[in-house]
C-alpha cells in the first residue's frame, strides 16, 4: 500500500481577504476585515479531503473603516486584543461535500473560549502562476454567534433597536501557495 505524499500549502496574504459581516441597528450590515493573518493546509497529494487546516488572525489588525469602532472592537467590550491578541482555528475534519466543495469542522478560539464550528469551503481550482508556483484558491463561509465567544457587549437605541447583531458572517477568499 502506498501512502500519498503530504502537500503543504501556505496562505498568500497578497491575494487573500478575510472578512466578517454583522448587522448594525438591524437595518444595515457593517463589514470588517483582518489585515494580518496566517493559514496553512496539509493535504494528501492533490486532494483536499481529510486535509488539516489551521488559521490565525491578529486582532489588532481589525479594520472596519472607522477608527472609533475599530478601537471599540479591540477593547475589553469585544475581542480584548491586549489579553487575547489572536483568534485561532484548527480543523478536526475536512470532508468532501461535492465536486470542489468541502465541509470543514474545527475548533475556533476567540478570547479564551473555544467552540466547534462548521464552515463551507469551495475550492476554486489549482493552477500554476507565471513564476512557477502552484496556487489553490478557496472561498470559505460560515456563521457564528458572537456571544458564544464572549463578545457580549450590547446596546439598545431609544426606539428599542439592537445596535449590534449576534450573528457574525465569516467570509474568506484565500489563495494558498504550495510549498
- For residue 5, the Cα-to-chain-centroid distance in whole angstroms is 27
Predicted local confidence at residue 88, as pLDDT: 98
Cell of 130: 507565471
Predicted local confidence at residue 1, as pLDDT: 47
Distance, in Å, from the CA atom of 148 to the CA atom of 163, rounded to the nearest integer, reads: 18
* pTM of the full structure: 0.88
Distance, in Å, from the CA atom of 97 to the CA atom of 129, rounded to the nearest integer, reads: 27
Cell 501556505 sits on residue: 10
User: Residues of the chain whose pLDDT is less than 70?
Assistant: 1-4, 24-28, 154-164
Predicted local confidence at residue 164, as pLDDT: 66
Cell 477593547 sits on residue: 75
Residue 135, strand partner residues: 127, 177
Predicted local confidence at residue 149, as pLDDT: 87
- H or E stretch covering 68: helix 67-74
Contact 21, 171 (CB under 8 A): yes
Distance, in Å, from the CA atom of 158 to the CA atom of 100, rounded to the nearest integer, reads: 48
Burial class (CB in 10 A: 0-12, 13-18, 19+), 84: middle
Q: DSSP class of residue 83?
A: T
Q: Which domains does the chain have, with CATH numbers?
A: 6-178 (2.40.128.110)
Contact 41, 49 (CB under 8 A): no
* Percentage of the chain exceeding pLDDT 70: 87
Distance, in Å, from the CA atom of 58 to the CA atom of 132, rounded to the nearest integer, reads: 30
Amino acid at each position: 500500500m502506498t501512502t500519498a505524499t503530504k502537500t503543504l500549502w501556505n496562505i498568500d496574504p497578497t491575494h487573500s481577504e478575510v472578512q466578517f459581516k454583522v448587522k448594525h441597528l438591524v437595518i444595515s450590515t457593517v463589514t470588517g476585515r483582518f489585515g494580518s493573518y496566517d493559514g496553512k493546509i496539509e493535504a494528501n497529494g492533490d486532494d483536499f479531503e481529510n486535509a488539516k487546516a489551521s488559521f490565525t488572525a491578529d486582532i489588532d489588525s481589525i479594520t472596519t473603516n472607522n477608527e472609533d469602532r475599530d478601537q471599540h472592537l479591540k477593547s475589553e467590550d469585544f475581542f480584548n486584543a491586549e489579553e487575547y491578541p489572536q483568534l485561532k482555528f484548527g480543523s478536526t475534519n475536512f470532508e468532501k461535500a461535492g465536486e470542489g466543495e468541502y465541509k470543514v469542522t474545527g475548533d475556533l478560539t476567540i478570547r479564551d473560549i473555544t467552540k466547534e464550528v462548521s464552515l463551507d469551503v469551495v475550492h476554486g481550482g489549482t493552477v500554476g502562476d507565471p513564476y512557477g508556483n502552484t496556487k489553490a484558491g478557496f472561498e470559505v463561509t460560515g456563521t457564528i454567534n458572537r456571544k458564544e465567544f464572549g463578545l457580549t457587549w450590547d446596546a439598545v437605541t431609544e426606539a428599542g433597536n439592537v445596535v449590534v447583531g449576534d450573528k457574525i458572517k465569516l467570509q474568506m477568499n484565500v489563495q494558498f501557495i504550495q510549498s
